[in-house]
Amino acid sequence: MVTPRAIEVADRVEKFVRDVIFAYEKDPRCGFHGPSDDLVMEMRAKAKAAGVLTPHILPDGSHLTQRETAEVLIRSGLSPLGPLACNTMAPDEGNMYLLGHVASEEQKAHFLAPLVSGEARSAFFMTEPAEDGGAGSDPMMMQTTCHQDGNHWVINGRKAFITGAEGSKVGIVMAKSSDGACMFLVDLPDPAITIERVLDTIDSSMPGGHAVVQIKNLRVSADQMLGQSGEGFKYAQIRLSPARLSHCMRWLGACIRAQEIATAYACKRHAFGKPLVDHEGVGFMLAENMIDIQQSKLMIDWCAGVLDTGSLGTSESSMAKVAVSEALMRIADKCVQVMGGTGVTQDTVVEQVFREVRAFRIYDGPTEVHKWSLAKKIKRENKLALGA
């Protein structure tokens, strides 16, 4: 059951997104590689004034539960710009969650505080270029290295698809030591981290886009290591399950909005003597979308409930990510189809929602990787059941 405090916060977020942020969707500062930082900060100033900046983190630093967060993040996602304005966007939301659970008090004061206040953006440096044979869906392939040099660590490697690297002030860098994977907190920009290029991708909602970067002899002090050497993959799991689910929440909100627009179009537009919605081929698509939206809500709520027990929810988040991302793709596609030619133009946000959701089927683990992981779990459990 959704709590009264979550409903109250979510209602305020929705009102702000609808009344203030929708109007920004045509702003020329929304570029091919995402909205500009001055646009983000302008919207965040208005969110702060409205009392909806970083609404999932309470004034005492505690978080809403995952089930409560779902209610809030779905509403913030009604516009692709909503999560940016409210400071509930990836990768910052996931990075804040990770730092809140693992960082020292000194690290929280220096790196987490400016993220929570919305004054800074962050980037998570994990994925590596395929041409280097680096880590992608398989993090064990990590090529970036780190070694200790006195009271410092020296990091070298290349990273790819680093969302928001351009313009971020806080970086979380993953590298491999002799102990295993490590995470480091870095002030950005740093001359040892150079952006080779920002990739031209199908999506355009995230400031700074997705960059390929080179890390050359990056020196960080030992107190900038997040947690312990060799524990990086464990910390990544703390972040990844909630982050996958948060993506589902935000993009569900966007698809709810797309459904609203497609429905209004189908009810107003006439063809062959009646409104489009009265043609079964159109009305049934909207009905199927309604079903997918409700099933996505239930899947998110179920997985959020698992995470709220303290479980890592690795398998549950994989199931939710697959089910919801595939459902959202069906919804977005049908909204475009219902609207015909108008659906493929930028006259409405439906076209962007379609592009963003298509990318989401890959980001945070492609559908096939999650299915493969679940299949391995099925095999393990069957082996245990047989006593093998």
Domains of the chain: 4-89 (no CATH), 122-228 (2.40.110.10), 233-385 (1.20.140.10)
Q: What is the pLDDT of residue 105?
A: 96
Q: What is the pLDDT of residue 388?
A: 63
Contact, 55 vs 13, CB < 8 A? yes
Stretches where the chain sits below pLDDT 70 are 388
Separation between Cα atoms, residue 262 and residue 354, nearest integer Å: 12
Q: What is the pLDDT of residue 59?
A: 86
